[in-house]
Amino acid sequence: MPIKKTPQQARLNLCLLLVVTFLAILLLGVLIVGVFLVVVLKPGAEETTPAPARETPQPGRSISLPTSTPTPLVASQPFSLNTATVGNITEVRQMTEGKVGVAQYAPDGHLIAIAMGNDLLLYDPLNQVILSTLKGHTGAVNALAFSPVLDQGMPTLLASGAMDETSLLVWDVQTGRSLWRLEGHTGWIRSLAFSPDGSLLASASTDRTIRVWDVQQGGTIHTLTGHTDMVSGVAFSPDGSLLASTSRDGTVRLWEVRTGTPASGSTDDPAVFFAITPDAPGGKPVWTTGIAFSPDGSRLAVGATDAVVRVLALPDGRLLQTLTGHTALVTIQGVAFNPDPGETTLASASQDGTVRLWDAERGTLRGVLDHRGLPVVGLSWHPGGTLLVTSSDVSGTVLVWDAERGTVEERLPIAQGPLVALDYSPDGSVLATGGANGTLRLHMLARDHQVSLANASRTSQSLAFLSRTELVIATSSDPGSVVRFDLETRTSVPILRDLGGQALQVAISPDRSLVAAGGSDQTVTVWDIRHDRQGHVLEGPGGNISALAFDHSSTRLIVSYDQASRTTAEPDAPSEGAVLAVWDVTSGLLQYTLHGHENTITSVAAHPGRPLLASTSLDGTLRLWDLDLAGEHPGTERHRIEADEEQERFTSVAFAPDGQLMVTGSASGQVQFWSLEPLEMVHTLDIGGGSVLALAFRPDGKQLAVSSRFGGLRLFEQRGKEHP
């Protein structure tokens, strides 16, 4: 017979059931939240920062460095790069910056406008600060022009044109607002010029035309046609009655501004004022590039791709002077007379890395301003005629010169330029980059954050991490020096001074006990970090030091000497190309030299686990050398690989930290991955962006950093299942 439940028991059972149900629901909720937190907040979750932050700390201000290993950039876990699975390598980040373009003084000298990628920077040279950034272009800005100073009621205007854009912008400098977008060209803008009264603006375009615009109304007054190829430069005469233009067709044309008709000159064609013809029939065409009127309007200076500046008489177009000395083309924004009416100085800028100052009346050279061989894209005189601003797209630097003394008054490292030095911190959390102009940056990889070390050293191009918080930096001053730079306190301590030449290269031994520095005085100096004292000074076979590397044991140093630059007692002695010297750093004795490369060595890398050295050279070869003193033939060449036509030449080399993989870069923008046993190429990446300049592995071997001339910095990792 069933037992009957009392009402009290039924109520008790119901309460127990409700409690159990509630606890089950609560437990399920906790599990769901826990899973969510694990998935979302686990290391490796993708960061959502839209763009890298950049910081420029003030001197003495500390830098917040990561305290742990970097968070991977994507959700999947990266694995060490190896020969078996390198085909899965993936680009996980590309870091590029806009290239520095032309720079121009405002007519009152209080501002410098600088093209920086797609933007315009307005820089205050007195207070040395960037006042504002003007955004509006979709292409790289390559043409600038300020309106003249007229009266207090008229705003100063700035016109700008960009590559791959058919329109041009006119800005109010004071407000930073775009007043006009002038449209009508069918090609992009190469040059701009305001008339002396500020009412007209002329634009030269790749569409073979010149347009003259009404600045107040924003409309076209004239469309000047006649050039048979893209137009390069334009300039108004001082009285505003004439407009001169240059072109890839090799001619100079002069136009009456009022009517828009050609003015005749020194040629049989009444529409052509002056023409440059090749030296020989069928010779390479010469393009006319930069153009400028003298302050009194009696002369016209014309630059060209044949590296010559010609001075023409006005109004007949007679050739007055032929100024030779440049070794590369004169740039479009690279010709300008000193604005002082009492001066006859003419400045010309070239891709050969120099600005030449000429006496335009006598045709003599007054001075040379050297950009250290880095192409100069343009120049502009200060209205007082004493200062000159120049810019280099390759170096990313804007320089203000005292034209009379030929000295640099101010150096503006607007960008890094091509990255020529890369190194990871020992824990892999920070990547340091050194630009061609000496600007250093730290990339905090986990936080996608950058810190600029513009004040770390003067024009440094070689660096290496000593510890997680310390960098060793070689400066390019003369005499050279090497400093220890504390990243947290932003203080530096010199460890090597007065090296007797520019310190071009620096290397740290694998055990972090020694620093070596070598430069243009053709010697290498070793510093003992642990005992804080100078070690041996190594004087080798002669020649500038182009590369340094310690071997895996930290007891030997490999030094590359450029024999083409050596100084000998016999000036006619034949050059041996380049020599590698192997030094015992304990005794300071030379063990042996490695011969074979026929040109400058661009990169050396020592294997991390055995006596093996890799070197690349301008002779187009990659060579592997046996450094084993216990072997039968120490110092012998084990392998030689000639770059093929597609690669052009090898530029850089690095070994993976585990020693299984070797990576090379080429002048064509290829990155090649090699197995060592046997030596064979196992994978190739065509990254583009010009020549590969530097390679670096993260210490754990799970990331590869690659810099190229035009492609900036790229980070690569291997994704997927790790090979056993």
108, pLDDT greater than 50:
yes
* 305 domain residue, yes or no: yes
d(CA 283, CA 267): 20
Query: What per-residue confidence (pLDDT) applies to 567?
Result: 45
* 17 domain residue, yes or no: no
Q: Do 306 and 385 sit in the same domain of this protein?
A: yes
Q: Do 382 and 480 sit in the same domain of this protein?
A: no
Cα-Cα end-to-end distance for the chain: 70
Q: Tens digits of per-residue pLDDT, 616-675?
A: 999 999 999 999 877 677 788 999 999 988 888 999 999 999 999 999 999 999 999 999
* 7 domain residue, yes or no: no
Amino acid identity at 214: D
- Mean pLDDT of the 608-613 span: 96
- Mean pLDDT of the 27-49 span: 42
Q: How far is CA 165 from CA 205, 365, 415, 559, in A?
A: 10, 38, 23, 49
* 13 domain residue, yes or no: no
Query: What per-residue confidence (pLDDT) applies to 357?
Result: 98
Comparison of pLDDT for 108 and 17, the residue scoring more:
108
Q: Do 302 and 444 sit in the same domain of this protein?
A: no
* 498 domain residue, yes or no: yes
CATH code assigned at 596: 2.130.10.10
Query: What per-residue confidence (pLDDT) applies to 631?
Result: 67
Q: Tens digits of per-residue pLDDT, 583-597?
A: 999 999 999 999 999
d(CA 431, CA 444): 7
* 167 domain residue, yes or no: yes
Q: Do 376 and 444 sit in the same domain of this protein?
A: no
SS3 613: strand
**Which region, left, alpha or beta, applies to residue 109 given φ > 0 means left and ψ of -120 to 50 means alpha?**
left
Query: What per-residue confidence (pLDDT) applies to 481?
Result: 80
Comparison of pLDDT for 72 and 476, the residue scoring more:
476
Query: What per-residue confidence (pLDDT) applies to 424?
Result: 96
Q: Do 403 and 430 sit in the same domain of this protein?
A: no
Q: How far is CA 276 from CA 88, 248, 267, in A?
A: 54, 11, 10
d(CA 397, CA 328): 20
- Count of Cβ atoms closer than 10 Å to residue 474 Cβ: 31
Q: Do 427 and 400 sit in the same domain of this protein?
A: no
The number of C-alpha atoms within 13 Å of 517 and in the hemisphere containing its C-beta is: 34
Torsion on CA atoms 543, 502, 592, 535, rounded to nearest 10: 150
If one counts the domains in the chain, the total is 2
Are 468 and 531 a contacting pair, CB within 8 Å?
no
Q: Do 407 and 425 sit in the same domain of this protein?
A: no
Are 349 and 333 a contacting pair, CB within 8 Å?
yes
Sign of CA dihedral 436, 438, 444, 448: negative
Domain boundary residue, one of 596, 626, 649: 649
d(CA 351, CA 390): 12
Q: Which of 75-89, 139-153, 389-403, 677-691 has the lowest mean pLDDT?
A: 75-89
Are 464 and 447 a contacting pair, CB within 8 Å?
no
Domain boundary residue, one of 354, 381, 412: 412
Q: Do 400 and 465 sit in the same domain of this protein?
A: no
Query: What per-residue confidence (pLDDT) applies to 57?
Result: 42
Q: How far is CA 214 from CA 180, 182, 200, 261, 310, in A?
A: 11, 10, 5, 17, 31
Confidence of residue 381 (pLDDT cuts 50, 70, 90): very high
4, pLDDT greater than 50:
no
Name the percent of the chain lying above pLDDT 90: 60
Q: How far is CA 373 from CA 211, 328, 354, 617, in A?
A: 35, 11, 7, 20
Are 418 and 96 a contacting pair, CB within 8 Å?
no
Query: What per-residue confidence (pLDDT) applies to 723?
Result: 44
* 223 domain residue, yes or no: yes
d(CA 424, CA 614): 20
Structural domain containing residue 65? 53-79+418-649
Q: Do 398 and 500 sit in the same domain of this protein?
A: no
716, pLDDT greater than 50:
yes
Q: Tens digits of per-residue pLDDT, 478-499?
A: 567 888 888 888 888 888 877 7
The number of C-alpha atoms within 13 Å of 448 and in the hemisphere containing its C-beta is: 15
Query: What per-residue confidence (pLDDT) applies to 655?
Result: 97
d(CA 64, CA 54): 13
d(CA 525, CA 505): 11
Are 117 and 142 a contacting pair, CB within 8 Å?
no
Q: Tens digits of per-residue pLDDT, 43-81?
A: 333 332 333 444 444 444 455 555 544 434 443 456 667
Q: Do 362 and 303 sit in the same domain of this protein?
A: yes
d(CA 64, CA 60): 13
Sheet holding 636-642, edge to edge: 601-606, 612-617, 621-626, 636-642
d(CA 155, CA 173): 7
Q: Do 450 and 400 sit in the same domain of this protein?
A: no
- Mean pLDDT of the 385-409 span: 91
Domain boundary residue, one of 412, 431, 464: 412
d(CA 191, CA 189): 6
* 708 domain residue, yes or no: no
Q: Tens digits of per-residue pLDDT, 204-228?
A: 999 999 999 999 889 999 999 999 9
Q: Do 63 and 173 sit in the same domain of this protein?
A: no
Following DSSP, what letter does each residue of 352-367 receive, concatenated?
Answer: TSEEEEEETTTTEEEE
Counting every residue written for the chain, the total comes to: 724
d(CA 200, CA 247): 21
Tokens of 270: 């009444």
